[in-house]
Chain A
Amino acid sequence: MSAAASPTGAASAVSAGQNPAARALIRRHRLRWWEALPWIAGIAFYFAFPDYLGFGCDLLVTILFALSLDLALGYAGIITLGHAAFFGAGAYTVGMLATYNIWTEPISSLLLAAVAAGVIGLLSGLVLLRTTGLTLLMLTLSTMALLYEAANMGAAYTGGFDGLPSLPIGPVFGVFEFNPLYSNTQYLFALAVLFVCFVFVRTLVYSPFGQSLTGIRENVLRMHAIGSPVRRRLIVCYTISAALAGVAGALSAQTTAFVNLAVLGLDRSATVFIVLILGGYGRLYGAFIGAVVYLALEHFLAQIYPAAWQLGLGLLLVLIALFARNGILGLGDALARRYRARRPT
């Protein structure tokens, strides 16, 4: 958590900000110039690669999903391999509402999906978050498998293994139609949703609530000792994270007009876990970097040499676990620090 390099910005200093540590803490949530870059890139992508907007939608959905996991895993330290449970819950909410023509308006569908996934997150969180470590890992995995088998069992409603194809999705604001052949509307819609969700998450992690989550991750015992309601905080965080994952799942169902059992699978959970850690967890932008690197590599390599892609990915994960504990962004930080140390300021 290093502060920005240059010691400027004294204009907005509060009187308490004379202490360097206090100054650094105050500056932490300040907007930085480069925080505009992802959004500029997102809009530029729309104009530069009109043929790849389907891939772009996939990318935006993955970023949002990884961001939701970052909240639970990166900030609160809840190690879960079952986050696809909420992604799938959101996707199936949208999918089933659309297939049976109950509700197709996209924005309110997203909210409904968030509520559905959030409720599942709340209920499972109430029970699961009493445990830690391997037990918690197993319980999250089992919850996901449970939902998967439930969706498989209720094939009459969920379409079972084949899923629900060609979902009818209503136009955004009643005007902008989702064209199944060209993903223009889908892409911009997904970008807007991601932006709103990101602003929400950013505000949340820099709030006192977010700080207490980091505290719980770093030292549970101490947070208990200072009287922080640890379990309640974790449950609230898990619920919010689940709701966001639900939005990501819903967005995936809307942009592809399709949902099947894969949204609830271990593959999905493992992928988002890898994406987040590849980029760097507990730092908001890790989700962006990880998703871009992972999906770009997958998109171009996996089609040519599937086995080589898997081998490369495996080696990359092993190397990251051994040498670069904070992912790509952590590696960048370390390099920047070394560069700064060598140059006298």
Chain B
Amino acid sequence: MNALADIAGILLGGLAAGTVLFVVSVGLSVTMGLMGFVNLAHGAFAMFGGYIIVLAMNRAQYGFPAALAMGFFGTAALSVVLERLLYRRLYRAGELDQVLFTIGLIFIFIATITIVIGSETQNLQLPPALSGQLDLGIVQYRTYSIFLIVLGFLIALGIWLAFERTRIGGQIRATVDNRRMAESLGIDVDRLFTITFAFGSGMAGIGGGLGAEFLGLDPQYPLKYLVYFLIVVSVGGLGSVIGVYYASLILGVLDFVLTLYLPKGGTIFIYALTILILLARPQGLFGRKGL
């Protein structure tokens, strides 16, 4: 009985971490699929939103839902400004310039947060309703983790439905598949991209806040988790919501297990697996087109 409870505990912990990874990365996957823009600074948006959420709760005493909403809209607004002013100039540039530009943005975010707020780790104070333990029958587990898993599932379901059932979702899928054709059909790809970029960044902001409790939130956040965001997106497949969801959950569970049982260098298996998957399927597990 105890082994079963252990396994359930590991799964739940991993799934909760994976869920956060998904909420942060899903926007990156879609925007990269749409424009082929290598946006390494996506994690910086997650950090920005995370800071809004944590500071709104800790310093301004807002409730959790209100803080999440502020994180979403604040980050989305910032991303629209940056997209209109800066990103769009580099859509036709090479990957090299895009990588350089987004690394520069990461540094700007890190430095700004360090100067304005400080380099210490910010702690998220969970609302009392989420901070206890929940009895699931076989195992007692942290309410917050279970809340995250359920919330993540609902978000994934919602985004998937929006992708499959709404007009704008159809336009996004069409543009990911064939941008020129979509443009010829009269889809305003420019506007579409701004909307998805804003939404994706907003989601990243929420993800930053949701994960602040166990991933930590400090100015180095965008660099610390950069490789994980990229792994999830490339393994899942660009522009594929389901792919990112599965890849995030798998990576979350694997990382949880490996850091538990092989704290020194255990994550080597994650990288090995990533390399194998990408060599076998360069377009990712669920991707329909090459990266």
| Chain B residue contacts of A320, Cβ below 8 A | 100, 104
Complex Cα spacing A310 to B90, Å = 22
Closest Cβ of chain B to A217, distance in Å, is: 10
8 Å CB interface, B201-233 against A: 223, 226-227, 230-231
Q: Are A138 and B278 in contact (CB under 8 A)?
A: yes
Chain-B contact segment, one of A26-34, A37-45, A167-175, A311-319: A311-319
Checking A130, A131, A314, A321 against B97 with a beta-carbon cut-off of 8 angstroms, the contacting residue is A321
Cβ-defined partner of B95 (8 Å) among A133, A160, A267, A306: A133
**In the complex, A103→B290 CA distance in Å?**
46
**B95, closest chain A residue (CB):** A79
Assess whether B279 is interfacial by the CB under 8 Å rule: yes
Contacts of A4 in B (CB 8 A): none
Whether B267 and A149, one on each chain, are in contact in the complex, defined by CB atoms closer than 8 angstroms, is yes
A322 part of interface (Cβ distance < 8 Å) = yes
Q: How many residues of B contact A (CB 8 A)?
A: 49
B101 touches A155 (CB 8 A): no
Which listed residue (A81, A138, A150) contacts B99, Cβ 8 A? A81
Q: Which residue in B86, B101, B238, B271 is a CB contact (below 8 Å) of A146?
A: B271
Given A138-B230, A149-B265, A273 and B271 touching (CB < 8 A)? no
Report how many A-B pairs have Cβ atoms within 8 Å: 146
- Identity of the chain B residue whose Cβ is nearest the Cβ of A322 in the assembled complex: B89
Q: Are A307 and B234 also in contact (CB < 8 A) when A266-B227, A315-B104, A322-B90 are?
A: no
Tell me how far the C-beta of A331 lies from the nearest C-beta in chain B, rounded to whole angstroms. Answer: 15
- In this complex, the interface size class of chain A, counting residues with CB under 8 Å from chain B, is 35 or more
Give the contacts of B132-181 with A (CB-CB under 8 A).
none
Closest to A155 in B: B264
The SS class assigned to the A binding surface is helix
- Report A283-315 residues with CB < 8 Å from chain B CB: 306-311, 313-315
**Residue A232 at the B interface, CB < 8 A?**
no
In the complex, A185 has a CB within 8 A of chain B: no
How many whole Å from A328's CB to the nearest CB in chain B? Answer: 13
List of B residues within 8 angstroms of A267 by Cβ: 223
Complex interface: chain B residues within 8 A of A228 (CB)? none
Given A308-B115, A321-B104: 16 more A-B contacts, CB < 8 Å: A79-B99, A134-B32, A137-B38, A138-B274, A150-B265, A153-B268, A270-B103, A281-B96, A308-B111, A314-B107, A317-B100, A317-B104, A318-B108, A321-B93, A321-B97, A322-B89
Interface residues of A (CB under 8 A from B): 73, 79, 81, 127-128, 130-131, 133-135, 137-139, 141-143, 145-146, 149-155, 160, 266-267, 270, 273-274, 277, 281, 306-311, 313-318, 320-322, 325
The 3 closest A-B pairs by CB, nearest first: A317-B104, A153-B265, A314-B107
A-B contact pairs, 25 of them (CB 8 A): A79-B99, A130-B279, A131-B291, A135-B282, A138-B231, A138-B274, A141-B227, A142-B231, A143-B275, A149-B265, A149-B266, A273-B99, A273-B100, A273-B103, A307-B114, A310-B111, A310-B114, A311-B115, A316-B104, A317-B100, A317-B103, A317-B107, A318-B105, A321-B90, A321-B101
